[in-house]
Structure 1
Amino acid sequence: MARTLSSAGALPSTGSRTVTGNARQFALELDREFAAAMGDVRKAVVRLATQGLAGVQQKSPVDTGQFRSNWLVSIATPDPSVIEGPGAALAQKSAGALASYAAREGFPVIYLQNNLPYATRLEDGYSKQAPNGMVSLTVAELAAMWNGMRV
């Protein structure tokens, strides 16, 4: 026996609740899965940024420690900060920026930067301690590590 529409154009009352309930349930389940997936992506983005920061810091040449101490992370906009002399203040600021990433709307850009005037020279191989730079090596390592990796 075929089902027909009622005169109002709606499904017969015997089946409409089931169809509507299943669609609502499916939509809710889809929303939960999407939220969980986005949370996993956020965690992966923060892990990638953390690994990038550690990579450039470890590869940075050390004389006074100022250059290594001036690697910083900022979210959504570049941060022009420079710390005079070595210290942990900037590292704490970067850690705080990464920790706040989960609360941000969307997926803003994460900036990893060193604002000292000689940073580009060091990246270009000026130092015998880091003749191949820091950023380019770290980017290559991260690309190899994350290539094809599933979140």
Structure 2
Amino acid sequence: MIDASAFLSSIDAVFGHELPDEGKKQQKELLSRIMQGAIEKTPVDTGELKASWTTDGETYIENTAPHAVAVEFGSSRKAPNGMLRATLAELGLD
């Protein structure tokens, strides 16, 4: 799971307030791009893994499938670089 809560708390501490509306908009757009990339890179056998991506739309992305961690870290020949890790690298966020 990617959890941006700690990051957002550190921004709040630095600036003494929450992100302005434009910052929140950019945060949601980035989270959406990460989510879409992870879904596109998810290998499909039964479809369970691809259907198990969830987000609150603001601070986290996770995959609840029992085998998600194994696939993320190399158990799939279809996604040898993972799904989230590959997406983050593609976006320059690794």
Fold conserved between structures, TM > 0.5: yes
**Counterpart code for 1:41:** G
Q: Where does structure 2 lack aligned partners over 5 or more consecutive residues?
A: 1-18
**Counterpart code for 1:139:** L
**Match status 1:131 vs 2:80:** yes
Aligned residues: 75
Counterpart of 2:47? 65
- In structure 1, C-alpha distance between the alignment counterparts of 2:82 and 2:69, rounded to whole Å: 9
- In structure 2, C-alpha distance between the alignment counterparts of 1:142 and 1:72, rounded to whole Å: 20
- In structure 2, C-alpha distance between the alignment counterparts of 1:126 and 1:133, rounded to whole Å: 9
- In structure 1, C-alpha distance between the alignment counterparts of 2:77 and 2:22, rounded to whole Å: 40
> Shift in Å at residue 131 of structure 1?
1.1
> Which structure has the greater CA radius of gyration?
1
Which of the residues 46, 65, 89 maps onto 1:140?
A: 89
Deviating beyond 4 angstroms after TM superposition, the runs of 4 or more aligned structure 1 residues are: none
> Shift in Å at residue 117 of structure 1?
1.3
1:24-55 deviation line (CA, Å, top 9, x unaligned): xxxxxxxxxxxxx8111111000000001001
Counterpart of 1:47? 29
- In structure 1, C-alpha distance between the alignment counterparts of 2:92 and 2:77, rounded to whole Å: 25
**Counterpart code for 1:125:** G
> Shift in Å at residue 64 of structure 1?
1.3
What is the TM-score normalised by the length of structure 1? 0.47
Secondary structure of 1:112 counterpart: strand
What is the TM-score normalised by the length of structure 2? 0.73
Q: Where does structure 1 lack aligned partners over 5 or more consecutive residues?
A: 1-36, 75-97, 102-109, 145-151
- In structure 1, C-alpha distance between the alignment counterparts of 2:90 and 2:65, rounded to whole Å: 24
- In structure 1, C-alpha distance between the alignment counterparts of 2:62 and 2:29, rounded to whole Å: 17
Map 1:1-150 onto structure 2 (within 5 A).
38-74=20-56, 98=57, 101=58, 110-143=59-92
Secondary structure of 1:62 counterpart: coil
